């Protein structure tokens, strides 16, 4: 089985479409690690496309904020403005869909979670080597796929020791090693590469690769500006930060 694992779409329909096009023919199924909404201009269309195309979806902090399950004062001013704007543009069906997403799911030999598998509703970021190493006891599967930081990377732990590789492109799954893989962000990359990121997990080839896809950043930016969302949210897309 070949899974496309996508995360942090953030209402960026151009990026989502480009990733689904890239995944078409490469992956047999698509799963989503949350933050479908927030920041971008097309929350409803992104929810509908994810609901239609994804076999499994877990919720992120932006879903919880828009569904009223997380206080907005948790967010910085840009995220808060976007969450309020998003809330007003969704109907009851969209909000109901967001509100019932589980925070953790298992898929074959992998755990799917938006933030840290340790206390997923605390929304902790896995950034440093130590952050990732500390999360291994919190899941039972061989692999754990995460998003949230918008920066691709992998943490590995085995009898040989442990390692952290930020910005990883491809890993071959070794039977004696466990992995946490951050798949990066579809709609708002923050690793100075503005291209959309997603991960292809091939269970038979025992390989995970993070792919990058160019998309129409100009169109996504223009929609954010036209919507009256904070201009910073448009400009950061071009810089991948
Ligand atoms: Zn996010």
Q: 82 CA distance to ligand 1 centroid (A)?
A: 12
Q: 61 CA distance to ligand 1 centroid (A)?
A: 7
Q: Which residues surround ligand 1, an ion (CB under 5 A)?
A: 8, 35
What SS3 string covers the chain? Answer: CEEEEECCCCCCHHHHHHHHHHHECCECEEEECCCCCCCCCCHHHHHHHHHHHEEEECCCHHHHHHCCCCCHHHCCHHHHHHHHHHHHHCCHHHHHHHHCCCCEEEECCEEEECCCCCCHHHCCCCCCHHHHHHHHHHCCCCEEEECCCCCCEEEEEECCEEEEEECCCEEECCCCEEEEEECCCCCCCCCCCCCEEEEEEECCCCEEEEEEECCCHHHHHHHHHHCCCCHHHHHHHHHCC
Q: 160 CA distance to ligand 1 centroid (A)?
A: 33
pTM of the model: 0.97
Q: 175 CA distance to ligand 1 centroid (A)?
A: 31
Q: 219 CA distance to ligand 1 centroid (A)?
A: 20
pLDDT of the chain, 241 residues: tens digit per residue: 999 999 999 999 999 999 999 999 999 999 999 999 999 999 999 999 999 999 999 999 999 999 989 988 889 999 999 999 999 999 999 999 999 999 999 999 999 999 999 999 999 999 999 999 999 999 999 999 999 999 999 999 999 999 999 988 899 999 999 999 999 999 999 999 999 999 999 999 999 999 999 999 999 999 999 999 999 999 999 999 9
Query: pLDDT tens for residues 80-89?
Result: 999 999 999 9
Q: 65 CA distance to ligand 1 centroid (A)?
A: 12
Q: 202 CA distance to ligand 1 centroid (A)?
A: 24
Q: 148 CA distance to ligand 1 centroid (A)?
A: 5
Q: 158 CA distance to ligand 1 centroid (A)?
A: 29
Q: 109 CA distance to ligand 1 centroid (A)?
A: 24
Cα separation, 44 vs 171, whole angstroms: 34
- Domain 2-239: give its CATH superfamily: Metallo-dependent phosphatases (3.60.21.10)
Residue labelled with tokens 């074959």: 108
Query: pLDDT tens for residues 159-168?
Result: 999 999 998 8
Domain ranges within the chain, ordered by starting residue: 2-239
């Amino acid at each position: 089985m070949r899974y496309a694992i996508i995360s942090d779409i953030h209402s960026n329909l151009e990026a989502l479409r480009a990733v689904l096009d890239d995944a078409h023919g490469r992956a047999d199924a698509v799963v989503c690690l949350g933050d479908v909404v927030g920041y971008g201009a097309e929350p409803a269309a992104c929810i509908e496309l994810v609901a239609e195309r994804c076999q499994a979806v877990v919720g992120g902090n932006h879903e919880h904020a828009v569904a009223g399950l997380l206080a907005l004062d948790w967010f910085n001013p840009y995220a808060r403005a976007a969450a309020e704007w998003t809330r007003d543009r969704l109907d009851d069906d969209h909000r109901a869909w967001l509100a019932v997403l589980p925070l953790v799911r298992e898929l074959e030999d992998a755990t799917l979670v938006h933030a840290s598998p340790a206390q997923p509703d605390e929304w902790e970021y896995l950034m440093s080597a130590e952050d990732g190493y500390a999360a291994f006891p919190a899941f039972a599967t061989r692999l754990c796929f995460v998003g949230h930081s918008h920066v691709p990377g992998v943490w590995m732990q085995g009898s040989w020791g442990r390692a952290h590789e930020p910005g990883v492109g491809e890993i071959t799954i070794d039977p004696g090693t466990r992995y946490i893989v951050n798949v990066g962000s579809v709609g708002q990359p923050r690793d100075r590469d503005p291209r959309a990121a997603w991960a292809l997990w091939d269970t038979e080839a025992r390989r995970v690769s993070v792919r990058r896809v160019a998309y129409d950043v100009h169109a996504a930016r223009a929609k954010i500006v036209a919507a009256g969302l904070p201009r910073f949210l448009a400009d950061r897309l071009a810089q991948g930060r």
